[in-house]
Amino acid sequence: MEQALRCNHLKCRTQLEDSAVVTTCSHIFCIPCSDSLGLSTPTSRTRICPACEAPLSNPDDAVISQLNPSEDYKTSVLSGLSPNTILECAGRALNFYSYQTNQEIMYQEYLARSLTDKYQLLSDQMDNIIKDANSQIRSMNNRLDALQEEKRKLEEKNERLAEAYRNKGKKQQEALRL
Ligand SMILES: [Zn+2]
Ligand SMILES: [Zn+2]
């Protein structure tokens, strides 16, 4: 399965469909990025590759490439060249493609690593929150136990006082009857 290349401007990374600007330092950009980054309209000063900062001083160092070439273009593009030149062009284009796919793999690996790190951080934070909450629940439970114990003691005391009061009343009535 062939993977479409993506614009090498990291803030863009648009999947490239029809045409794109390719550089001799093996980078590729969508047309809007190429326009905004100064690749398509060279100013007087030397063009610089936005991805690797290589100087692109020759006119063919950055050119528009048709990514879905027509049949007649495929027929004519290398026609007239010697077999050596044809193979050289094909070899360089294959190097370009393999460099791009390697860069994409490295980028995806980097993303995976940073997602794993973020997940680990969140998971640690979550663990701490749960630990804090559990210790708060424990200390509230202890306090509740202490309050219940206090209430029980007060009820006992109340019961004893009521009992003493009843006894005192009985004794008074007995004294009155005598
Ligand atoms: Zn772009
Ligand atoms: Zn470059």
Question: Percent of the chain beyond pLDDT 90?
Answer: 87
Using the predicted structure, report yes or no on whether residue 1 has a pLDDT greater than 60. no
Give distance in angstroms: CA of 31 to centre of ligand 2: 16
Give the model confidence (pLDDT) of 54-96 as tens digits: 999 898 999 999 999 999 999 999 999 999 999 999 999 999 9
* DSSP per-residue string spanning 76-116: HTTTTS-HHHHHHHHHHHHHHHHHHHHHHHHHHHHHHHHHH
Give distance in angstroms: CA of 12 to centre of ligand 1: 5
Give distance in angstroms: CA of 136 to centre of ligand 1: 52
Give distance in angstroms: CA of 60 to centre of ligand 1: 20
Measured at the alpha carbon of residue 80, what is the angle toward residues 77 and 83, in degrees to the nearest 5?
Answer: 95
Question: What residues pair up with 56 in beta bridges, in sequence order?
Answer: 47
What ligand is nearest to the CA atom of residue 51? 2
Q: Which of 8-17, 33-42, 142-151 has the lowest mean pLDDT?
A: 33-42
Q: What is the mean pLDDT of the chain?
A: 93
Q: How many Å apart are CA 2 and CA 104, to the nearest integer?
A: 13
Q: How many Å apart are CA 70 and CA 68, to the nearest integer?
A: 7
Give distance in angstroms: CA of 19 to centre of ligand 1: 11
Q: Considering the domain delimited by 1-77, tell me its CATH architecture.
A: 2-Layer Sandwich (3.30)
Contact at 8 Å (CB) between 33 and 12? yes
pLDDT at 39: 86
